[in-house]
Amino acid sequence: MNKYIPPDGWSTHSRDLNYIRTNIPCQWACPAFTNIPGYIEAVFHGDFDRAYLINRRSNLFPGVLGRICTRPCESACRHGESDLGQPVSICHIKRIAADNTSDDHLILEQLFSPSGKTVGIVGAGPAGLAAAHSLALFGHRVTVYESFEMPGGMLYYGIPAFRLPRAVISEEVFNALRQGIELRTGVTLGKDIYLPDLMAKHDAVILAAGCQDARSLNVPGEDLPGVISGLDFMMQVNRGHRDCVGRRVMVIGGGFTAVDCSRSARRLGAEEVYIAIRGVEEDLTVPVDEIRDMYREGIRFVSLVSALSIDGVDHVSGIRFVRNRFGGIRGSGGRCILPIEGSEFSMDIDTVIAAIGQVPQSGLSEWSEQSVSYNPDSGRSSVPGLYGAGDYIRKASTVIEAIGNGRRVAENVDEDLMRRRRRLQVVSIESTGNTHRERTWDFIERHDMPTIDFDDRLRNQDAEVETGYSIQTGTEAASRCYLCNLKYEIHIPECIYCRWCIDVCPRNCIDLTETLNEDLPAPVHSGSVTAQWSRTAGVVIDSDRCIRCGECYRVCPMQCIHVTRVELQDHCVSREIP
């Protein structure tokens, strides 16, 4: 009875790719597939340069994302399963790597030779920059056209400096542009340049123009002075305007823009700031730390309300709401929100910031009078040579989604230009002969992010609120990670069925099985569990529940439990992998 133990090396076998999906939940949840356990282990060993590089390979802006990422990985983290405590602070650990790289650390890039092709990209936001960087590495000549004066898109013009210092953006954006990318700022598609000219000039064109048209509230009074859209407000704040709010501010909406508007308004001197949401706090798309910060800054939620009208004569003086109730689940999955009859009420306010979402600018990609459709994953469009990336084709999303998508679109552009795939996802496999962890680390609690005092936030409105983990805290936080990229397997021919491992396993995830299914696209093998000793064919570990604590490995008298490190990597190839 031999089993599948992949040899050390590279694999593109679906079984190994599948292992990553089911067993490294954080990496799979990251839209850019960042090798999270890989960099966390490097941080644990104090190798911040390496940790930074591992990050940058997938997500290009580790210092930026270590501050403002929405952290879909943390919601998926195994440590956060309901009986295991809190997720690993993946994002804060990313930041500590970025903040502590050595002065002379090397940024290594995998550079193809020049291809002779040129690509034009419209928009220097995260998606456009990620695509530009990847395409430059592929050897193409890239020009980025950007209408604003600074690159960075919403990193620069949306997200406020107290969450993301401008120096962090400029350093990482500069590093992304260093491969000979030509950046032309102050150039607007549809005004200074036109799509047909761009298409004629370049072998491929990517539109990564983001979502910049604000959705309107559609209520009476929306045009009164004192009402402003969330995005316009943040752009004004980020351009240095400081006199754009009154004293009692009502922000409407439940996304990042709304939260940033409320916190900025507070810093600009508003005494009372409310956020009105149609549903409840649980629906907000911002990380819980930030909600806590909002509360600390004295911002209040008014939940379960919809705006009916904005009142005032020549300026906003109040807003009228109706209270809502939930009315069950809609066919499409979301919850029905219904007004409660007779529950209207008013609040006195002098500023309304409407932050209920943004949509892509219309008309940008009209092509020979036909409208163009895009595949939101591949970025390919109905017009050969024209692609889209980021929020422009995927609706308002997040920075990491924009970066992940920008990179994937770049790979597709490269494939179409070069007629073969030159960057592949492969799985690297390496036996470790060690658990790399101690059981006691599983009981360490998640560490809070330290922040500056409330008064300092108001005194210097650009002062970064979160100050970052100390190296000691970061190392401890890193030790909490189970290193799900370690795969525990029992080599059945050597096992004597003593069941010691079963006795010590804290997760109850080692089973006796009747059968061994070896060919399923399953991680290791699985089988039908049995309690009957006489029918046992093997002892197997359920990797999905395993927390890589190493107890079984340490106790096994036959040393037949193997630990291998399995990692998803980008592999650049000039020819097919043999």
Partner 1 sequence: MKPPHIVIIGNGVSANRASEVLRENDPDVRITLISREFFLFYFRHKLPAFITGSIDEDSLIVHDLHFYMDRNIRLRLGQTVQKIDLENKTLFLSHMEMVHYDKLLICSGGQSHIPEIYYPFRSFFTTLKKLSDARDIRKKLPLINRIVIVGGDLTSLRLADALIRSGREVSFILDDFAFWPIESGPDIRHALETALKKVGATVISGDPLERIERISDGDPPEYAVYTRKGQQLRAQMVGAFFGFKPDVDFLIRSGLDIDRGILVDDRLQTTYPDVFAAGDCAQVYAPHLNNYWVSIGWKNAIMLGEIAAANMSGSEQPVSMPVEQRIRFSDLQLKTPWWHAL
Ligand X SMILES: Cc1cc2nc3c(=O)[nH]c(=O)nc-3n(C[C@H](O)[C@H](O)[C@H](O)COP(=O)(O)OP(=O)(O)OC[C@H]3O[C@@H](n4cnc5c(N)ncnc54)[C@H](O)[C@@H]3O)c2cc1C
Instruction: Name the residues that contact ligand SF4, by CB under 6 A.
Output: 24-26, 36-37, 77-79, 88, 90, 481-484, 488, 490, 495-501, 504-507, 509-510, 539, 541, 546-552, 556, 558, 560-561
Contact call for residue 497 and partner 1 (CB under 8 A): no
**Residue closest to 161 by CA, chosen among 65, 88, 234, 71:** 234
CB of 250 to ligand SF4, least distance (A): 38
Which of 447, 489, 491 lies closest to 466 in space, CA to CA? 447
Among 13, 335, 491, 499, binds partner 1 (CB under 8 A): 335
Q: Which residues contact 567 (CB under 8 A, 6 or more apart)?
A: 20, 35, 37, 38, 427, 428, 485
Nearest-angstrom CA–CA distance, 176 and 535: 59
Binding partner of 280, given ligand SF4, partner 1, ligand X, none, CB within 5-8 angstroms per partner class: partner 1
Nearest 5°: phi and psi at 335?
Answer: -90, 145
- Which listed option, ligand X, partner 1, ligand SF4, none, makes contact with residue 335 (CB within 5 to 8 Å by class)? partner 1
Nearer to partner 1, 131 or 299 (CB): 299
The H or E element that residue 328 is part of is strand 316-329
Separation CA 477–CA 441 (nearest Å): 9
Residue 178: name its binding partner from partner 1, ligand X, ligand SF4, none (Cβ under 5 to 8 Å by kind).
none
Residue 545 CB, shortest distance to ligand X, in Å, is 22
Question: In the stretch 196-215, what mask flags binding to ligand X with x, by CB under 6 A?
Answer: ------------xxx-x---
Cβ distance to ligand SF4 smaller for residue 44 or 145: 44
275's tokens: 């956020």
Rounded CA-CA distance 273/250 in Å is 6
φ, ψ of residue 441 to 5 degrees: the values are -65, -20
Site for partner 1 contains 448 (CB under 8 A):
yes
Q: Report the alpha-carbon distance of residue 485 to residue 534 in Å, rounded.
A: 34
Binding of ligand X at residue 172 (CB under 6 A)?
no
Cβ neighbours of 415 (radius 10 Å): 16
Measured distance CA(566)–CA(548) in Å, rounded: 13
Which one, 228 or 524, has the nearer CB to ligand SF4? 524
Q: Is the dihedral of CA 90, 92, 93, 95 positive or negative?
A: positive
390 in contact with ligand X (CB under 6 A): yes
Choose the one of partner 1, ligand X, ligand SF4, none that binds residue 448, judging by a C-beta under 5 to 8 angstroms depending on kind: partner 1
Residue 325 interacting with partner 1 (CB under 8 A): yes
Cβ nearer to partner 1, comparing 211 with 304: 304
Taking CB under 6 A as the criterion, which residues in 523-562 touch ligand X?
Answer: none
Torsion of CA 327, 332, 333, 334, to 10 degrees: -50
The correct pick among 326, 338, 359, 497 for binding partner 1 (CB under 8 A) is 326
Member of 42, 64, 97, 124 binding ligand X (CB under 6 A)? 124
* CA-to-CA separations, 307 to 222, 501, 566, in angstroms, rounded: 11, 60, 52
Q: Contact, 54 vs 44, CB < 8 A?
A: no
Q: Looking at beta carbons only, is 82 or 574 nearer to partner 1?
A: 82
Angle between helices 399-418 and 48-59 (to 10 degrees): 70
Residue 68's binding partner, choosing from ligand X, ligand SF4, partner 1, none, with beta-carbon cut-off 5 to 8 A by kind? ligand X
Among 36, 40, 51, 68, binds ligand X (CB under 6 A): 68
Q: Which of 359, 365, 396 has the alpha carbon at shortest distance from 380? A: 365
323 interacts with partner 1 by CB under 8 A: yes
Q: Does 506 bind partner 1 (CB under 8 A)?
A: no
Report CA 209 to chain centroid distance, whole Å: 19
- Identity at 203, one-letter amino acid code: D
- Per CB under 6 A, residues contacting ligand X are 68-70, 122-128, 145-148, 153-154, 158-159, 188-190, 208-210, 212, 231, 234, 256-257, 260, 361, 364, 390-392, 396-400, 402
- Per CB under 8 A, residues contacting partner 1 are 82-83, 280-282, 292-293, 295-296, 303-304, 323, 325-329, 335, 340, 342-343, 345, 448, 450-451, 454, 508
